Amino acid sequence: MSFLDQEYREIITKAVCGKGRKFTQATHNISPSHRPSSILGCWVINHLYNAKKKSEDTVEVNGSYDINIWYSYNDNTKTEVVTERVTYCDYIPLSVMDDNCLSDDCDVIAKVIQQPNCLECEIANQGNKIAVEIEREFVVQIIGDTKVYVKVDPKGYKFDDDDDWGFDITDDELSDVKPDFLNDQSSD
């Protein structure tokens, strides 16, 4: 029996045709306006990104975020917050790719698994800079047109919403329910 028989249909639909995942750690060197004495806090905010298919098996994610570092200076007598906008470009290889995708015009969906987050923040370079280690993780999916084959029911059964499935509970069945069955210590 071939796919061209009357019992099969070809359906063209959108489906996930590729998947990839990448975890990245990056170190950024921030130059504060004063020589830091100690680091009081570090946080990452305002994460923005977009993704596009770069090649047959790679997705490119371009993004940016703000690194805010609260530090003390002047022998821990004054504090200041330094903010720096950081840009990045991650190339995410597709670990799963369907060769039966019908077109090259695909949609790319990128989802952040781990928002950019500060792992470590320390004074570096003889005390003139602050080194910040950041982690982030993405999952990407390629959505494209593909063809699926489905078998048609030869009997042509049509589901009727008014069918009575007979799943109603009778009064006899309801009377057999033991509400304390979890607390019942007797053995059957």
Cα(first)–Cα(last) distance of the chain, in Å? Answer: 54
Q: Is 172 helix (H, G, I), strand (E, B) or coil?
A: helix
CA 177 to chain centroid, in Å, comes to 44
Helix (H, G, I), strand (E, B) or coil at 98: coil
Long-range Cβ contact pairs of 179-185 (< 8 A, separation 24 or more): none
Secondary structure E strands in 98-152 = 107-124, 129-151
Nearest by Cα to 56 from 28, 11, 97, 9: 97
Dihedral angle over CA of 96, 100, 104, 108, nearest 10: -40
Four-point Cα dihedral 149, 150, 151, 155, nearest 10: -150
CA distances from 12 to 6, 149, 160 (A): 17, 9, 27
Q: State residue 1's pLDDT score.
A: 45
Collect the ranges in the chain with pLDDT lower than 70: 1-6, 157-167, 181-188
CA angle 130, 46, 63 (to 5 degrees): 85
For tokens 């999952």, what's the residue?
139
Determine the pLDDT at residue 79.
95
Q: Which two tokens stand for residue 182?
A: 């979890």
pLDDT at 183: 62
Pairwise CA distance, residues 43 & 65, whole Å: 10
Indicate yes or no: pTM above 0.85. no
Long-range interactions of 77-83: CB distance < 8 A, separation 24+? 78/34, 79/40, 80/32, 80/33, 80/34, 82/30, 82/32, 82/33, 82/130
